[in-house]
Structure 1
Amino acid sequence: MIFVNDMTLLRAWLLALGVAIIGSNLIEDMNLLGDEGLARQAFAPIAAIVGGYIFGLGIVMAGGCGSGVLYKQGEGQFAAFIATVGFAFTLIMSYHGPLAPVMKWIKSYKVSIGSGDDAIPNPALWDLFNAPNLKWLFIAIIVAIIIPVVWKGGPLGKQPKKGWSWSLGGLLVGLVIVLAWWTSYQWGGRARGLSFSGPLSEMVTFLLMGDSMAKNDQMFSFAGYGSISWSALYIIGVPIGAFLSARGLSEFKLTAPKQVDELLRVFFGGMVMGVGGALAGG
């Protein structure tokens, strides 16, 4: 049995998920994302499960997920920077280095629908049931499952004295995800959305070699230095936003572990995250 003492973060995550699902599919149906629509990933179940498990192990050791170690840098945590270095190191190894063939082999098992001209290489949930016309029915069922869990947490209850409530935070995160789909299409050439593993790799390769090496995305010249993807740019924005928020709440503080062992742990945790994130398609 799994014991959960506090479901606040889970409820915030579910609220963000519901808003993101509704909003992203709505703007797709409104033709705001071009002919391609949402750039859905291929469904590679083995890679997703194994990669997600490895990524979860890394999160525990690194003290945060891909976005977590980035925003914690904005709060002044040096350990988060070390974790990000480890994260980036194995991402490069996985996407462009000696681990790339292994990743490609594990990801080779993919679920697709149909064949020939009618094939759907990146099926959505409703495509798996051969019911594309019932997309909004599937979405309604998912949202109907989410609503009772979220509502039980009292989303309209008393607001905290400092910062945002979990419900407002979840709502805003969901809206940011929807906005990311639209902005990535408008300025990035493809409705790629919001993730951190791939974009961090693209930022690092840009810094090291002047090229984000994003195969499917439109590239831009950045200050005459080289070619960078749109997604790589928001890797810069996350710690900046976290810094401004931390300063506004008087929570910014430069901190560093006193023990070398902790730095080694978060660095190794970041490396584990990089392998898991690249494998799962983060």
Structure 2
Amino acid sequence: MSVSPAVMLTAIGLILGLIAGFVMHRADFCIAGMFRDLFLFRSFAKLRVMVLYVVVAMALFEAARLLGLLPLYPFPMLGPATFAGILGGVLFGIGMVLAGGCVVGTLYRMGAGSRVSFIAFAGLIIGSALYAEFHPFWKSLLTATTMFSGSITIPLYLNLSPTPLVLISIIPLGWLVALWWRRGQLSSRLYAKGALHLWQAALLLAVVSLASYLLIGMPLGITTAYSKIGAMGEQILFPEHVANVSYFATQSISCRNPLTGMMFKGGPGPAMDSIALIQFPLIAGIILGGAVSALSLGEFTVRHPAPWRQYISAAVGGVLMGLASRMAPACNVWHLMGGLPVLAFASIFFLAGILPGAWLGACMLTRWVVR
């Protein structure tokens, strides 16, 4: 009995999300925490693991490309670099620190029972939907500030094969990773039963990202689905308004899935299209993976309240992340775990924005939330 392409891709997204959520919860792998700790505690320890991830993912993606396994290269929905995208990165950096987790950290912690993460998740959906109201203005700003002739990656701009540029990037970064490993700076003592080292999680997540690229046609990405969920909620309450919002009529993806040959078409609107097919199972899987990990460790609970300031911070941070993930466009997972390994300009610019944004978020956090 044959399995339909839609069912197959749904199962793939769910499984990949389940693995990612489980691994991230076991290691508490949260990109927001990596940048937050850099500015709050002057600690580079967690951020070193992101460097490790980028090095490994860069090598895996390029090896797969050379083997002819990545017909969609660079992957769909990866846009050109724009100055306005940097501003989106700044806003995202502020939001993820205030929310206490990034777009994926929010999901696996919510799966483990975190009330604060649930509030941040609601904020993400609200912020993603709010962006639709000023999309025409922001789109014109993105277009006006596009750089490098609209080239998506550095190799495309230079008209070179990615291989030498990947090697030029991997060699110094790999040397740093090796140096940190020899000094014991990539691992620390684990006290919790069943916990994973961050470096172990980075390696596993690099493999998950590669699997997503090979099977779905792109690395992990979820934030267009947040806009879609927001649009679905709006359609119930204000159907005429949703029908007249131009952003909800845009099409984010139009390509053929390399595994099944199925044509992917969809966007941030309320329709159950290819975006829903790709990203909804991934979101569900990450939440489920966090829940499975927490339950197996006996850590699942919804009983732990937080100070009211933290709930407000999570809500504000979630809204800012939702807005910024559309303004950048895309989120930290898409750019740092997917775009950086293929030397995407937009992802490099996003990183340039998220650094000062995380610093601003840390200042706000210590001034108004956790004094």
Secondary structure, aligned partner of 1:6:
coil
CA contact (8 A) 2:100 2:314 kept: yes
Distance apart, 1:152 and its partner CA:
3.0
Corresponding residue to 1:99 among 113, 126, 134: 134
More helix by share: 2
Query: Partner residue of 2:317?
Result: 269
Q: Aligned partner of 1:111: which letter?
A: M
Give the aligned CA root-mean-square deviation in angstroms: 3.0
Distance 1:181 1:249, change over 3 A: same
CA contact (8 A) 2:120 2:318 kept: yes
Query: Partner residue of 2:215?
Result: 183
Corresponding residue to 1:247 among 295, 319, 341: 295
TM-score, normalisation: structure 1: 0.80
Distance apart, 1:69 and its partner CA:
0.9
Structure 1 unaligned regions, length at least 5:
114-120, 186-191
Secondary structure, aligned partner of 1:32:
coil
Distance 1:36 1:137, change over 3 A: closer
- Supply the distance in 2 between the matched residues of 1:78 and 1:242 (Cα, whole angstroms): 14
Distance 1:164 1:126, change over 3 A: same
Structure 2 unaligned regions, length at least 5:
1-37, 237-247, 255-263, 331-371
Distance 1:172 1:270, change over 3 A: same
Corresponding residue to 1:147 among 174, 195, 213: 174
Aligned pairs, how many?
261
Corresponding residue to 2:285 among 225, 237, 256: 237
Distance apart, 1:168 and its partner CA:
1.1
- Supply the distance in 2 between the matched residues of 1:212 and 1:238 (Cα, whole angstroms): 28
Distance 1:258 1:132, change over 3 A: closer
Secondary structure, aligned partner of 1:132:
coil
- Supply the distance in 1 between the matched residues of 2:223 and 2:199 (Cα, whole angstroms): 26
- Supply the distance in 2 between the matched residues of 1:173 and 1:44 (Cα, whole angstroms): 26
2:153 pairs with 1:124: yes
Q: Residues 103-135 of structure 1: CA distance to partner in whole angstroms, max 9, x if unpaired?
A: 21221122354xxxxxxx44311233x2413x2
Distance 1:260 1:166, change over 3 A: closer
Distance apart, 1:14 and its partner CA:
1.0
Distance apart, 1:213 and its partner CA:
7.2
Q: Aligned partner of 1:78: which letter?
A: R
Deviates more, 1:171-180 or 1:30-39: 30-39
% of aligned pairs identical? 21
Q: Residues 217-250 of structure 1: CA distance to partner in whole angstroms, max 9, x if unpaired?
A: 5269xxxx94433123201111111111222333
TM-score, normalisation: structure 2: 0.62
Q: Residues 170-223 of structure 1: CA distance to partner in whole angstroms, max 9, x if unpaired?
A: 1111111111111222xxxxxx32123223323444576599975415269xxx
CA contact (8 A) 2:253 2:265 kept: no
